[in-house]
Amino acid sequence: SKVSSLLETEPFGDVIQDNFLNACLEVQTLFTPQELLKALLNIELELGRVREIKWGPRVIDLDILLFNDMVIQDENLAIPHPWMCERSFVLDPLSEIAPNVIHPLERKYISTLKRDLDKSK
């Protein structure tokens, strides 16, 4: 498994709140994507996560960005994460640990997606 460095970013959305710390982690698991999601939601609950305001303050927010080269679109789970290609706070740490992974829908390397997003700003 790999862990990126921490990246401090300003919050996303219109809610006034403190900066966020972002990081990406690569793990190996025997869980299915749905089982992994359930485990992550349980970790969030144990750490005191309350879902009140969309894009509002939170103790922790754990997301599945990619799961091998799977594409999943369920009512409670979308893989790859639908907004990951539009967010530097996702692509910056992800490209640090997985630059040569190919996004299964975009068909581009994570490092290329990061470069494209950086150029568009």
Catalytic residues: 49, 58, 61, 63
Alpha helices in 8-87 (DSSP H): 33-46
Angstrom distance (rounded) from CA 43 to CA 50: 12
The residue to which tokens 């992550």 are assigned: 40
Let me know if 33 is exposed, middle or buried by CB neighbors in 10 A (0-12, 13-18, 19+). Answer: middle
Work out the end-to-end distance of the chain between its first and last CA atoms, rounded to an integer number of angstroms.
31
